[in-house]
Structure 1
Amino acid sequence: MSKVKVGIIGAGRIGKLHAENLVKLHRVELKAISDIFAEQVREWAGSIGIPHVTDDYKEILQDPDIEAVLICSPTDTHVPIITEAARAGKHIFCEKPISFQLEQTREALEVVKEAGVKFQVGFCRRFDHSLKKAHQTVKEGGIGEPHILRITSRDPHPPGKDYVAASGGLFFDMAIHDFDMARYLVGSEVEEVFAQGAVLVDPLFAECGDVDTAITTLRFKNGAIGVIDNSRKAVYGYDQRVEVLGAKGCVTVSNVTPTTAEISTAEGVFRDKPKYFFLERYNEAFIQEIADFIDSILFDKEVPVSGHDGFQAELIAMAAKKSFAENRPVKLEEISAVQSV
């Protein structure tokens, strides 16, 4: 097998990003893309060389030449598409979260397991070279047993009301990346969550039953403690920092800036603000996650981010929502839909 033939389902912002990255990979042939607004993306698709555009994703699943699909459609469509794709024998890359309901996620992953296809979840931050270095440092014992994890994750501006209403809330939409990163960096499962939240940025979040500011404390099975702070508005840019303190040292990852030049004058010391948003900050990571997914197919390797990883992140998000609603720590074992996947 020299190339993997791929179809993309969903041509919104993330679907277009993946498409534009895929056409640059020599090991991939991007055959088709589907979107319910197919006519609106047809010109763009032609400009990057996608030969077929359809408003019916089933055409992609029914194409015997297509070996893998990227599911970039809204979250509430993921489970039925995953199920159909797996039964059609397609390898699957699915954007996060798999679903908003743990039981639905579990059922979808059971179908994937029965079909024997590859399944990767889109937690792109694992593919950032600095965060990978931090993970490897902890894994190899470079800082000893981890004691404290700190993650700062703040968007430069809040999304609009339509997005917020359909997002599943801050814990499922935004913090879920941080929940995955917490497991990835500490190397242990989370056993207890305590989340606090507030509406400090925009009243529309309250109108949608959501929060825009949150602090989540995690207790890991290996004894480590973590704290994650999230905000929907950091006026200075996309704020992405992590730190793991261990028995023998500490590893940190700072913000990425357009340049590292620092200008010192009588008026002060100045440097660039962080890159503005996730498309800039994690551009290389988006490319690498898809390249690794393709490699897992070509060389029959395990995918780097599994369905289990996706399920665990959703489990933490569900516990965080429950903790916030009830104002108390919640053990993950309390969540009724917990099942092994």
Structure 2
Amino acid sequence: FCEKPLDLDLRRARESVDIAARADVLLCLGFNRRHDPDFRKLRMEARSGAIGPIEVITIISRDPAPPPPEYIERSGGLFRDMMIHDLDMGRWLLGEEPQQVFATGSTLADPRIGKLGDIDTAVAVLRTPSGRLCHITNSRRCSYGYDQRIEVFGSRGMVRVDNRKITRVEKATTRGFATEPALPFFLERYAQSYRLQLDRFIRAVGGESTDLALGSDGLRALELAEAAHQSFRLGRPVDVS
């Protein structure tokens, strides 16, 4: 089992996948969001045909506050460290491999991040051969908490997952409606997904067939992250077919 990213270097990542395959060793990646019950239900509904063919996926991922500069220095950058989760989710939901990546970004939340050569705000668009689109927006800072939302839009409808709140209590007064804040960060938001991921991995080691992100998924996500970084630097779409 390996946490994402598989490596910060594509060559070493490919070597790791090849070595595991030759040794017939199960190599799984820590893309825990695949195991979130809400997102799994979202995928099932989107794939069921109820909303028609998928046309556009929108993924929003925003952290409550930027990490310290010491973390940024060794993180591999926003695309490899943060957006890689969303690039994997995009693949998982689209139903076909992306053919093209376009990405752009800025430093808007913390100037120290820019001084280290990284960005803290980014947008990426994945395009598949059939024309399906996945729009991803990332920010290292979000004033209202940990923002994690996904919408899948199809020709006959849409399905979405909104933020989880501290409680589901909603209050209505003459001043309008009020709800609880979003959960503070990833440990609270994805606690259940981490448990389910580990449970499925243990069962897979025991020989059961389970739905896990494999080494090949980790490699593909890293390839997409590298392409997004390249697109950002070049200012144009990058082919990933």
- Alignment TM-score, normalising by the size of structure 1: 0.69
Q: Share of identical aligned residues, percent?
A: 41
Of 265-274 and 109-118, more deviation after overlay is shown by 265-274
Of 297-306 and 218-227, more deviation after overlay is shown by 297-306
State the partner residue of 1:169: 77
State the partner residue of 1:236: 144
State the partner residue of 2:96: 188
Cα distance in 1 for residues equivalent to 2:61 and 2:200: 25
State the partner residue of 1:296: 204
Of 279-288 and 214-223, more deviation after overlay is shown by 214-223
Contact 1:256 1:274 in 2 (8 A): yes
Q: CA deviation at 1:300?
A: 4.1
Q: CA deviation at 1:138?
A: 2.1
- Kindly provide the amino acid, as one letter, of the partner of residue 90 in structure 2: A
Is 2:229 aligned against 1:321? Answer: yes
- What residue ranges of structure 1 are gaps of 5+ in the alignment? 1-92, 334-341
- After TM superposition, list the pairs within 5 Å mapping 1:185-224 onto structure 2: 185-224=93-132
Structure with greater contact order relative to length (CA < 8 Å, sep ≥ 6):
2
Contact 1:119 1:303 in 2 (8 A): no
Cα distance in 2 for residues equivalent to 1:154 and 1:178: 11
Question: Any idea what the Cα deviations from partners look like across 1:289-325, whole Å, max 9, x if unmatched?
Answer: 0000001111343551111111111111000000000
Cα distance in 2 for residues equivalent to 1:142 and 1:102: 38
State the partner residue of 1:272: 180
Is 2:13 aligned against 1:105? Answer: yes
Contact 1:94 1:119 in 2 (8 A): yes
Cα distance in 2 for residues equivalent to 1:326 and 1:120: 32
Indicate how the Cα distance of structure 1 residues 302 and 110 shifts in structure 2: closer, same or farther if over 3 A, else same. Answer: farther
Cα distance in 2 for residues equivalent to 1:140 and 1:176: 26
Cα distance in 2 for residues equivalent to 1:298 and 1:287: 17
What number of residue pairs does the alignment pair up?
241
Cα distance in 1 for residues equivalent to 2:126 and 2:70: 30
User: SS of 1:269's equivalent?
Assistant: strand
Cα distance in 2 for residues equivalent to 1:238 and 1:221: 33
User: SS of 1:196's equivalent?
Assistant: strand
Cα distance in 2 for residues equivalent to 1:251 and 1:303: 22
